[in-house]
Amino acid sequence: MKRFGAVLVWGGISALGAAAFGVLALSRGETVNAAWLLTAAVCTYAIGYRFYSKFLATRVFGLDDRRATPAERCNNGRDYVPTNRWVLYGHHFAAIAGAGPLVGPVLAAQFGFLPGTLWLVIGVVLGGAVQDFVILFCSLRRDGKSLGQMAKEEVNPGAGATAMLAVLFIMIILLAVLALIVVNALKASPWGLFTIACTIPIALLMGWWMKRWRPGRVGEASAVGAALLLGALVAGGWVAGQPHLAPLFTHSATALTWMMMGYGFFASVLPVWMLLCPRDYLSTFLKITTILVLAVAILVILPPLRMPALTPFASLGEGPVFAGKLFPFAFITIACGAISGFHSLVASGTTPKMIARESDARLIGYGGMLMESFVGVMAMIAACTLDPGVYFAMNTTPAALAQASQVLGQAGFVVTPDAMRELAARMGETTLLARSGGAPSLAVGIAQIFAGATSSLGGGSRTLDALWYHFAIMFEALFILTTIDTGTRVGRFMLQEIAGHVWPRFAETSWYPSVIVSSAAVVAGWGYFLYQGVVDPLGGINSLWPLFGISNQLLAAVALSVGTTILIKMGRARFAWVTAVPLAWLVTITMTAGWQKVFSGDPRLGFLAHAASLAGSTDSNATRLIFNDRLNTFVALLFMTVVTILIVTSVREWWLVLSRRKAAVLHEAPYVEAGYATGD
Amino acid sequence: MRPETDGVPRSARTTWRRSVVQRFFRIVRRVIGAPDYEAYLEHCRAAGHAPALDEREYVAQFFESQGKGIRCC
């Protein structure tokens, strides 16, 4: 009877999901309600979690609750601590969810809402969540070792070094892209810049409170910090209206670039308790609260999607937001939310050291990634509720807009200058044109959803739009800056470790000359790409976001290669397809995208073609743009080469093990029975 | 029945409320990845040794180890 009930429930969920997908796929020309998109996503997640993750947990990985986890064996009450699985789920989600799942879907909305949504939903169930789960499981069985260490031990030392190098390069591109999003959101925006600038003294105050004044009183410090943050948000509106104060916080993108670099340097050099940790706590509070409120707001108002299911840019490949056709660029643009290599660093970082039982890895690794995908779906909804004309005007530079004007006009994606001025005034800004990077358009979408929800609940009016807009900007900028803090610092540690092989003293993380030189080198690395993006006439997103997507997905390919190697060595070769299939897909899309970005004959798409089109130009920036194109070509080819080496090394290892030419030696931690299993 | 704690009468309901509030804040601390000295004391009790670190030292060590963590994109 119970079994019959389960069949009925899961059959019903499957039918509902299929119906929702049917509505989304078959609607042409008419407006679709966001409810269908949410239903399709949630039903797919439910089925994926209930059946596929269970299959992975029991049949493929063989999770064993009688085996003690690192948190139990190495418990030190600090970083190795057995933690309730729901609490750890929240912690893991807060660590993996950043700007990526919010911005990627917004940019991919230029193809329409359908391609990005399908990739978010299907990609996560079969790829992204599998990657997070497999790496968490592998690290769990190895005392919480990092991805690089696992590659070194389970594939070979060369693979470990290659993976570490790949992570460092990817980090530099990632930080540049994220910084570019913040710069584009804050340029000529005194309200936004004032609010974000205030987060620095607020974080310093919190750090002093927690470390010096009342050690460990995180709750008190965070409550004060959150109150001051909201105060800064409201005060920002007042500052923007003051003729003497507003110019102090009104800066060009170039000036903001230098400020960001200075900030990144100090965040890396200062002790973590002073700036990095307090900002991280504030960011986490804000992130979880806002995402929950956004989910409720979308459910309350169920907005209609004004963007069509497919736009002409899906097949033409001449999108003004970024160039390239749906295949492969939709899959590159949306990395976080569908599959993100960066998660493998978190899944082999703090999380495996806190898992109480092996079976908890299913909820945390697989379930955590499903939640991130859901955030991506919400971002897609927020972007697609905007008028398409507004969306393209906000995300496109004037040069790119002029190139795409004919297609935009034919598709009806037009907006008048007056309408844009009126929208900017409602959001408390002087202009919203050419705010590429996704964050401002997402903020307008979120502001409209929040304002709509408060109106429908009878608790507000549309005059709150400006406040909601700047709240959304603050929410995005805050956790992007957290990633810049931690990323620059981790990049600094990696650089110190690498240089330490040549000069051992350089590896001492507390030796200040080394700290300063390595921090400056990392900041200069991402700062150069950031500057390149800021001065790019087509908007840096066109060149940098695909580069980031390619690098992030290539890191996922590294993680899946390591996962496949471990499964084969465990004697589970018959199940190796669970990681090998997403790996094959990732290699296909990233190599295709990388090849097109380098060698395409279209100057908007190919770096080399763009450089060739500038040859002989009288433009004063031509020499620098040509150099940047060549640098981007080098970086793309470097990523592709590094990952090819790692995959070939892995495949060789698989062949040696499967053909019994090499013993399958696993480097797992020794089996120790869990305390509760032995009755302790 | 009014149990006594540190010589101060306290109703069972007040004690229960306080423990719920403390529990809630411990969950929040763990979710955001903040230091949790109680966890360290529990570990010391379970391991059968006296705490080697006071709260200030524990917080300092905790922040140092957290500095190597990464937040995702």
Q: DSSP letters of A539-577?
A: -HHHHHHHHHHHHHHHHHHHHHHHHHHHHHHTT-GGGTH
Token digits of residue A96: 């993996």
Coil/strand/helix, residue A673: strand
Percent of chain A whose pLDDT exceeds 70: 98
Q: Looking at residue A463, what is its pLDDT? A: 60
Interface check for A216 against chain B (CB to CB < 8 A): the answer is yes
> Which residues in chain A have their CB less than 8 angstroms from residue B41's CB?
77
- Between the alpha carbon of residue A26 and those of residues A13, A23, A38, A566, the distances in Å are 20, 5, 16, 42
pLDDT tens, A627-671? 999 999 999 999 999 889 989 999 999 999 999 999 999 999 999
Task: For residue range A536-580, list pLDDT tens digits in order.
Answer: 877 788 788 999 999 999 899 999 999 999 999 999 999 999 999
Please report, for chain B, the start and end positions of each structural domain, with discontinuous segments joined by +: 10-63
- Contact predicate A127/A339, CB 8 Å: yes
Q: What band does A305 get if pLDDT is binned at 50, 70 and 90? A: very high
| Digit-coded pLDDT (tens) for A487-530 | 899 889 889 988 888 899 998 887 889 999 999 999 999 999 99
pLDDT at A457: 56
Per-residue confidence (pLDDT) for residue B1, from 0 to 100? 43
pLDDT band at A212 (very low <50, low <70, confident <90, very high): confident
Per-residue pLDDT, B6: 52
Q: Which residues in chain A are closer than 8 Å to B30, comparing Cβ atoms?
A: 83-84, 87-88, 91
Cα gap A269→A513, rounded to integer Å: 10
Query: What size, in residues, is chain B?
Result: 73
Which residues share a beta bridge with B8? B5
Cα(A589)–Cα(A220) distance, integer angstroms: 48
Query: Any chain B CB within 8 A of the CB of A432?
Result: no
- Higher per-residue confidence, A207 vs A463: A207
pLDDT for B9:
57
Q: Per-residue pLDDT for A92 more than 50?
A: yes
Measured between beta carbons, the chain A residues lying within 8 angstroms of B63 are 211, 271-273, 277
Across all residues in chain A, what is the average pLDDT?
91
- Give the SS3 label for residue A160: helix
Distance set, CA A96 to CA A446, A474, B6 (Å): 21, 19, 44
What pLDDT sits at residue A461?
A: 58
Residues 448-477 of chain A whose Cβ lies under 8 A from any Cβ of chain B: none
Q: Which residue has the higher pLDDT, A676 or A272?
A: A272
Report how far apart, in Å, the C-alpha atoms of A512 and of each of A268, A271, A501, A520, B67 are.
Answer: 12, 12, 18, 12, 16
Report which residue type is found at A76: N
- Residues A271-298 have a mean pLDDT of 88
User: Whole-prediction pTM value?
Assistant: 0.92
For residue B45, list chain A residues with Cβ-Cβ distance below 8 A.
none
> Does residue A245 sit in helix, strand or coil?
coil
Segment A30-44, tens digit of pLDDT: 789 999 999 999 999
Distance from the Cα of B1 to chain A's closest Cα (Å) equals 32
Q: Rounded to a whole number, what is the distance in Å from the CA of B67 to chain A's nearest CA?
A: 6
Indicate the pLDDT class of residue A169, thresholds 50, 70 and 90. Answer: confident
Residue type, B1: M
Residue A532's identity, in one-letter code, is Q
User: C-alpha angle A362/A367/A371, rounded to 5°?
Assistant: 170
Residue of A75, A78, A354, A482 to mutate when probing chain B, most B C-beta within 10 A: A78
* List of chain B residues whose C-beta atoms are within 8 Å of the C-beta of residue A276: 67
Here the tokens at position A75 are 């418990």
Tokens of A313: 């840019």
**Counting one residue from A and one from B, how many pairs have CB atoms under 8 Å apart?**
136
Does pLDDT of A677 surpass 80? no
How big is chain B by its Cα radius of gyration, in Å?
A: 16
Q: Pick from A540, A659, A661, A584: which is nearest to A179 by CA?
A: A540
Pick the most confident of A371-380, A464-473, A476-485, A542-551: A371-380
Residues of B in contact with A75 (CB under 8 A): 43, 46-47
Give me the mean pLDDT over the A52-56 stretch.
98
> Nearest to residue A560, comparing CAs of A165, A126, A102?
A126
Q: Which of residues 307-366 of A touch B (CB under 8 A)?
A: 335-336, 340, 342-343, 345-346, 349-350
Chain B residues with CB-CB distance to A79 below 8 A: 62, 65-66
Provide the 3-class DSSP secondary structure of residue A83: strand
User: Phi/psi class of residue A665: alpha, beta or left (left: φ > 0; alpha: ψ in -120 to 50)?
Assistant: beta
- Inter-chain CB proximity A77 and B67 less than 8 Å: no
pLDDT of residue B2: 46
> Of A174-178, A596-600, B48-52, which has the strongest mean pLDDT?
A596-600
CA separation for the pair A505, A469 (Å, rounded):
48
pLDDT of B10 reads 62
Chain A residues close to B43, C-beta within 8 Å: 75-77, 81
Once rounded to an integer, what is the mean pLDDT over residues B7-20?
A: 72
Residue with tokens 């940019």: A107
User: Is A77 close to B70, i.e. CB distance below 8 A?
Assistant: no
Strands A304-305 and B4-5: unpaired
- Contact indicator for A338, A123 with CB cutoff of 8 Å: yes
pLDDT: which is higher, A361 or A167 = A361
Burial label, A127 (beta-carbon count in 10 A; 0-12, 13-18, 19+): buried
pLDDT at A458: 56
Kindly list the residues from chain A whose CB atom is less than 8 angstroms away from the CB atom of residue B65: 78-79
The least confident of A150-154, A397-401, A477-481 is: A397-401
CB-nearest partner of A98 from B30, B61, B72: B72
Task: Give the distance from residue A487's alpha carbon to the nearest chain B alpha carbon, in angstroms.
Answer: 6
Give me the domains of chain A, ranges plus CATH numbers: 8-188+251-662 (1.20.1740.10)
Q: How far apart are alpha carbons A34 and A302 in whole angstroms?
A: 6
Q: Is A4 exposed, middle or buried (0-12, 13-18, 19+ CB in 10 A)?
A: exposed
Please tell me the distance in Å from A315's CA to the nearest CA on chain B.
29
Report the C-alpha gap between A361 and A355 in whole angstroms: 7
- Residue B71 and residue A482: Cβ atoms within 8 Å? yes
> Quick check: helix, strand or coil at residue A355?
strand
Helix (H) or strand (E) holding B47: helix B37-47
% of chain A with per-residue pLDDT over 90: 63
CA A340 – CA A132 distance, rounded (Å): 9
Q: What does the pLDDT read at residue B68?
A: 60
Q: Find the mean pLDDT for residues A194-212.
A: 93
